Structure formats: C-alpha cells, structure tokens
Amino acid sequence: MVGLSIAWRGARDGAAVTIVDPTPGRGASWAAAGMLAPVTEVRYNEEELLRLNLASHHMFPRFVAELESDADLPVGYRACGMLLVARDNDDNAALADVLAFQQRLGLDARRLRGSEARALEPGLVSSIRGGIVVEGDHQIDNRALVEALMAACRGRGVAFETRSVAGIERAGNAVSGIELGDGRSIATKAIVLAAGARTPEIRGVPALPIRPVKGQLLHLRSRDASPVLTRNVRGLDVYMVPRPDGRLVVGATVEEQGFDERVTAGAVHDLLNAAYELVPEIAELELVETAVGHRPGTPDNAPLIGPLVHDGLLVATGHYRNGILLAPITADIIVTLLSGSTASWDIERFAPARFVALENAS
C-alpha cells in the first residue's frame, strides 16, 4: 500500500517510476481490515505517532478524490465512525482510562452508557456496559484501495517488474541499481525501499530492526447482503469492520510467529468468540474467508520514513498497524524528498537513522 501510493504520487508529479515486486499490492495491506482509526487506536507513549496519524487521516478525503479520479474506480471510503464498547464492568473501567487519555490529548471522543451504545448499534448484546464513540474515525475498503492504486499507477505510466529484489547496488556511497532475484539489474539513481516486513532480506541495506508481526482475520457475510453493523465496532479483544455489501471483517491477532502463513483453529475460535460476545448475530453469518498478513513491526511501533545512509536511498517501511492510515502522508513526504525539497512534515522522529545509529553504537 505504501509503495503503491508513493509510486502513484511520484508518477503524478512527472517522475519515471518502476515498481519491483513479485506480487504488487498483496502484502499486509491486502489482509487488513481498512480501519482509519487514529483516535480509537491511540496508545500510551506514542503521542508523536498520533500526530503523524492524525495528519495523514486529514489527508484522506483529498487523497481518495484524486485517486478515484485517476483510477476511475471506487475505494470504499466511508466516514462511518467508530464505537469502542465494554462487555463487562472490567472493560468499562478500562474504557474510562482510555477516554481520560484521549481527552488529555484533546481528541474528539464521547462516553456512552450501554443503552446509548445499543441505540447506535442495535446488534450489540444487551449486556453491553458502556462505550466510547469516535465520529472522526473512518474506514476504507483496503482491497478496493489496492486495486485503484494499481490502476492509477498504470494510467500514469508506472512500469511493473514482477520480480523479487535481491539487493541494492552501489557506486561509492550512492545507489546505482537494484539487483533482481533472477540476477538481472535495473539501473537507477534513486530507490525507495518499501518492502514492509521483508526489508531485512534485501542485501546492501543497513540492518534495520523490522520484524513480521502475524495477524489473522476473518471475513464473514450475511445471507441477504445487509450490513450487521453501521459503523466500526471494537472491543478490547476484537474489532469488526462492516462493508456495505454485507461483509464483516473481524480481526485481528497479534502474533510473534515470523512469516508463519497458517490460519490456526485457535485464532479463528478466539476471534469468533470475542465477536460473538459483542454481536451475537454473527453466529448466523457465513465464514467466507480467512486471511493472514505480516505487519512490519519496529521496536518503537513507529515507521521508518526518510533517507538512509547511501545517496539516493529512501526508506518507507515499518508502519506496523498503520500502513493504510499513513499511506497519504508517507507518499507526500517521500515524493517531496525525491524532488530535492524539504518535507513539509518534521520526520526526524521517524528517521531510519535512529536505528542505524544504535546498531553502529553497539
């Protein structure tokens, strides 16, 4: 998602762009749910990341309008809001802490009683104890977004090389090309490394502490294609993202299992059970798909955006759970840097060099 967004934005600005990827658009973003929820998913001690998330979130309406115009395809962007709910008193106490944190940060979130939450979403179980509604958190159909980016890239003349990347080639301290998995090379003076969790596998790149964080999720569907929910609903252990066509995306696990591709019975059970405790109607839905993705995690959960050691090498990876949310601002930053200008956003906090410096020091 990040790489496609950069390629499209770069081509729109007149750059000659080649995407090198054996399966473009089929990484972690294909297996995502498409939540755009910077407020609901805010975490303690990640205030700088929150600011970046909010800035990118605000860019989405224009990003979507321009992309849909270029691609002539819809991307399923919905300003539907998010409802965070408590199934019991312990969860309700946890929500009180979440709301207090959100309000300290000046975020737009509102506390609800259980009855008010059920008035918004009648499908919630009657024992719901309370909730937080965040009207500004939205969603996008991640797979429709990928298809639109692919189409927009092609329409703007982006070339696709469906080969794996083996390494980065250099001439002195500057990049000179990309070594492909079949031994061929592509000469270039500028490379944007947006390889997600696979970044450490590419030769010639300084060591970066990026790891795959496995996530399993489910796609359910109602018999008559009617949505079970009207907005995103999240409990402390599960989230549910409704699509207008009756699909319901349920996710997602967070597992340190390397590049394990297996869908496990335990994960399916846990996700369905957690979702059922909040919305009993899901028991009547058809299980139509299971999916596994590998988020590119970093030690501080923040992305790596900017130049890295060698002249002409830019990095846009390590977005962890925020790859879709941060696609617009990451593309804007990287394309601006490629043009030789200064990025409009202060990216020092997210510079890849913060980890390279630590590696050299050790």
User: What's the mean pLDDT in 44-52?
Assistant: 95
- Tell me the CA end-to-end span of the chain in Å, nearest whole number: 33
Q: pLDDT tens digit string along 160-185?
A: 999 999 999 999 999 999 999 999 99
Task: Please check the confidence at residue 360 and state whether its pLDDT lies above 60.
Answer: no
On whether the CB atoms of residues 137 and 40 are closer than 8 A, the answer is yes
pTM of the shown model: 0.95
Distances (CA, A) of 98 to 46, 156, 250, 322, 338: 14, 44, 22, 19, 39
Report which DSSP code applies to 209. Answer: -
Tokens of 159: 């070339």
Give 347's pLDDT tier (boundaries 50, 70, 90).
Answer: confident
Give 357's pLDDT tier (boundaries 50, 70, 90).
Answer: low
Report which DSSP code applies to 295. Answer: E
- 232-234 and 239-242 as β-strands: parallel, antiparallel, unpaired? antiparallel
Rounded Cα distance between 56 and 54, Å, is: 5
Buried b (16+ CB within 10 A) or exposed e, 242-267: bbeebbbbbbbbebeeeeeeeebeeb
- State the average pLDDT for the chain: 95
Task: Please check the confidence at residue 13 and state whether its pLDDT lies above 60.
Answer: yes
Distances (CA, A) of 267 to 15, 120, 232: 44, 29, 21
